[in-house]
Amino acid sequence: MKRKIAMLLCILLPLTLCSCAAKEPEAPAETENTIVEISRGDTGEDTNKLAASAVAYTDSFKSADGTVDIEINLEDTSLYEGSFRTLQITPRPFTEEEVRHIAQVLFGDAVLYECSIGREATKAELQEQREILETLLEGDALKEMYADSADESAELIRNYLDKHKVEDAPESIEKTVCDFQYKPWNDAQGYLEINAHTEVEGIPYYFNAVNNTNNGVRIYRINVFVANVIIWPLGVDEIMLCDQILGKEEPHQEQINAIREKAEDMMGELDMGQWQIDSCEVTKRRDSYAIEVKAVPVYNGIPMLRQGQLSYLRGTEEGIQNCYYPELCITFSPDGTLYGFEMVTPVEVTAIGEEGKTMSFAELMGSIKTRFSQTSATDLPDGNRYADAVVSDIQLGYAMVPVNSGDNEHIQLPGVNGDTLVVNNSDFVLIPAVTVYGNYQTYLNTPEENAFDYRKIYGREALFAVLDASNGSMIAPANSNMILG
């Protein structure tokens, strides 16, 4: 049965990739520099050749039109050692029981009340808010918050105080304990939410779970962030909470390691499948520091590759994906206080194919060189007459590719445990793939002259491409933000 599933998935996959510009790679550009390749592990005919490789590799060449200088500089890149099975998955919403459990993991015994941000303030809340705002107007705090627009900000705050009088506010607001049941959002068909608010050790948190299938999208997400439930002018409360919770000194490595361990423990308590942390980094919020932990799901011991979330989920263009990639992001203060949480797109594995083969490392490098050879400087984001590009990292893992059943309403496959599985455009397959990372500059005449530098602008490596590890073809949905997509 597994052999039948694998064969049928192989039939489906070319249909899927046709909308993602999947073509066999052409001959790569001629190499100018010496290539140094160090392969380790068994790379025999019966093994997954790419997965068994660990390499150091350098190369340089030009694009076909001569406008892009490309350098590949990989330092002892270690790739996954093992074999891949193609998996079929179906995205699903968080169940109400899962939403309740995640809230308990994040907030412990704290009570969550049903609430949307922006509710009416009580007399006591408005009085406390007024005292804070009047104090800000008296000192120099607004200049620190809003710099050149401090005077305009002060005027907006005075107008807010004139409009919102304590005597006009109600004595109290009835609170309802959150029942963790999805409810319609603004009568939008297929758009359900759970909205709640709580407070832990004096810190207010807003909790939001979304099950949105309105107009063909599939947005399944849980968001948590620090926020008050009443409106504040100019987002003053967000700035003050940021300064209150986050640290003013850059975290040291021991703090980063402790946050990583805390995040790992939390991910285990979530009981939402297996996850692997792929980044744990210090980030800045205004003049304060946070530690952001990002993770990707793991299936059969193999992680999904991180890809930038899609820019939009609905449209008429062929190849548009209507679901976000699964991911998890937890943000902490340096002392371990929760600052933010986001979890996206739970999935169910519905079919498992047989073990597949990948390219050799040399074949992969040929595909990468082909992609860059076909690129012009003007094709790159913020393109100019010339560009320099450096490929510095490649990662091997699963990529999520939409199933495209063509003109058929559905295709039936043998399912798990003998059940019949109906496959349609709601399903995806996880296939072995390679992400290609690095940096690039674009410029008019020389790199020293007003060059656009991706890493300096965005503070991270550029994701150049995601390639099918079996044949080197490009995987790029129409709404992808990949540099070469």
Residue 380 DSSP one-character state: S
Greatest mean pLDDT among 37-51, 258-272, 305-319, 375-389: 258-272
Tokens linked to 192: 């359900």
Question: What's the rounded Cα separation, in Å, for the pair 234 and 157?
Answer: 8
In the prediction, which pLDDT does 425 show?
54
Greatest Cα pair distance in the chain? 81
In the prediction, which pLDDT does 4 show?
31
Mean pLDDT of 331-350: 96
Coil, strand or helix: which one is 109? coil
Report the chain's mean pLDDT, rounded to a whole number. Answer: 83
Least confident stretch, 28-37, 138-147, 368-377: 28-37
Question: What's the rounded Cα separation, in Å, for the pair 420 and 299?
Answer: 22
By the 10 Å C-beta count (0-12 exposed, 13-18 middle, 19+ buried), 367 is classed as buried
- Whether 209 has a pLDDT exceeding 70, the answer reads yes
In the prediction, which pLDDT does 435 show?
94
Mean pLDDT of 224-246: 92
In the prediction, which pLDDT does 81 show?
64
Q: Between these two residues, 6 and 164, which has the higher pLDDT value?
A: 164
In the prediction, which pLDDT does 315 show?
76
pLDDT tens-digit map of 471-481: 999 988 888 87
SS in 3 state form for 12-66?
A: HHHHHHHHHCCCCCCCCCCCCCCCCCCCCCCCCCCCCCCCCCEEEEEEEEECCCC
- Supply the DSSP string of 151-189, one letter for each residue: HHHHHHHHHHHHHS-GGGS-S-----B-----EESTT-T
Q: Give the gyration radius of the chain's Cα atoms.
A: 26
By the 10 Å C-beta count (0-12 exposed, 13-18 middle, 19+ buried), 155 is classed as exposed
- Whether 203 has a pLDDT exceeding 50, the answer reads yes
Mean pLDDT of 393-420: 60
Question: What's the rounded Cα separation, in Å, for the pair 356 and 358?
Answer: 7
pLDDT class of 184 with cuts at 50, 70, 90: very high
Question: What's the rounded Cα separation, in Å, for the pair 96 and 181?
Answer: 6
In the prediction, which pLDDT does 28 show?
45
**pTM above the 0.85 mark?**
no
Greatest mean pLDDT among 34-38, 103-107, 346-350: 103-107
Tokens linked to 479: 């709404």
pLDDT class of 316 with cuts at 50, 70, 90: confident
Question: What's the rounded Cα separation, in Å, for the pair 136 and 467?
Answer: 53
CB atoms < 10 A from the CB of 259, how many?
24
In the prediction, which pLDDT does 461 show?
92
Contact between residue 424 and residue 410 where contact means Cβ atoms under 8 Å apart: yes
Contact between residue 430 and residue 398 where contact means Cβ atoms under 8 Å apart: yes
Mean pLDDT of 149-178: 92
In the prediction, which pLDDT does 151 show?
87
Greatest mean pLDDT among 36-50, 309-323, 419-433: 309-323
Question: What's the rounded Cα separation, in Å, for the pair 70 and 368?
Answer: 11
Element (H, E) at 254: helix 253-270
Least confident stretch, 27-31, 130-134, 224-228, 297-301: 27-31
Q: What percentage of residues in the chain have a pLDDT greater than 70? A: 84
Residue 471 DSSP one-character state: T
Least confident stretch, 261-270, 337-346, 404-413: 404-413
Give the relative orientation of helices 236-245 and 123-138 as an angle to the nearest 10 degrees: 80
